[in-house]
Amino acid sequence: MIEVTGLSKSFGNKVAATDVTFRAERGALTYLLGPNGAGKTTVLRMIAGLSRPSAGTISINGSSLRSMPEVKREISFCLGAFVRNPAHTGRQHLRWQARLAGIPTADADRVLELVGLADVADRRTGKYSYGMLQRLGIAAALLGDPQTIVLDEPANGLDVEGTLWLRDLLTDLADDGKCLLVASHSLAEVEINGSWIVIMGQGRVLSNTSRDEIVAAGSGPRPLESAYLEITRNSVEYAGIGSSQ
């Protein structure tokens, strides 16, 4: 479980997050939504320990990140698809990640199979497509079978088959009792498999409710989309002519 309480972050005079509070439970797929610049990535980076909060607390399975003896078995992250040495093969990359975390390198083969990269495990990652790099990043997040998994836009670059695969993977992980926190712009996928939805705008939490409740508040053929647009209407930094905003 991830519990974020009163989280705030400023970079000089710029306020990136203000009093952000929400929970991501075990056995649930919690989505973090919001327009560009809403503060989603800032919050995820603070959860990952990559950025120090200006105020507030973060609890992961009842502990702080720094106090965990085996972090990788408690929580893992995929916050970008390009963190790799292009000269390394997919298998080499994952074995390196495993060694850094104190995980048996043999686990690399398990996660390669799980994400569908077993057949290209010995290809250099510099030859991987964007979608393959996304799968590789997700594979790295699954090393060591962590209880809590945080993903930032994992569907970017995936084709139709990849999107359907990711949907099944996230659903299966939640069904297995994992805690998943996923930042996304794909409202269609969120409406299909989300459990809980946190919507941010201009660094604040605008909505924090179940998928069923927010869908019920919407209207038309795409109720989640209509509800999302209404909630974020005053939080979009820029909108083109003809935008629904």
CA 195 to chain centre: 14
- Residue 80 has a pLDDT of 79
- Residue 95 has a pLDDT of 97
- Residue 239 has a pLDDT of 56
**Burial of 31 (C-beta count, 10 Å sphere; 0-12/13-18/19+):** buried
Domain around 218: 1-61+147-153+170-239
Residue 68 lies in a domain: no
Residue 75 lies in a domain: no
Residue 218 lies in a domain: yes
Residue 108 lies in a domain: no
- Residue 240 has a pLDDT of 56
Task: Read off the CATH number of the domain in which 184 is found.
Answer: 3.40.50.300
- Condensed to tens digits (0 to 9), the pLDDT of residues 139-171 reads 999 999 999 999 999 999 899 999 999 999 999
**Alpha carbons 185 and 172: distance in angstroms, whole number:** 21
- 3-class secondary-structure state, position 26: coil
- Residue 103 has a pLDDT of 94
Residue 115 lies in a domain: no
Residue 209 lies in a domain: yes
Q: Which residues of the chain have pLDDT under 50?
A: 245
- Residue 107 has a pLDDT of 97
What six digits make up the tokens of 54? 């200006």
Residue 138 lies in a domain: no
Task: Tell me how many domains the chain contains.
Answer: 1
C-alpha distances out from residue 243 to 40, 54, 56, 179, 189, Å: 22, 35, 35, 35, 21
String of DSSP letters for 53-109: -SEEEEEETTB-GGG-SSHHHHEEEE--S--S-TTSBHHHHHHHHHHHHT--TTHHH
**What single-letter amino acid sits at 138?**
I
Q: Output the pTM of the full model.
A: 0.93
Residue 114 lies in a domain: no
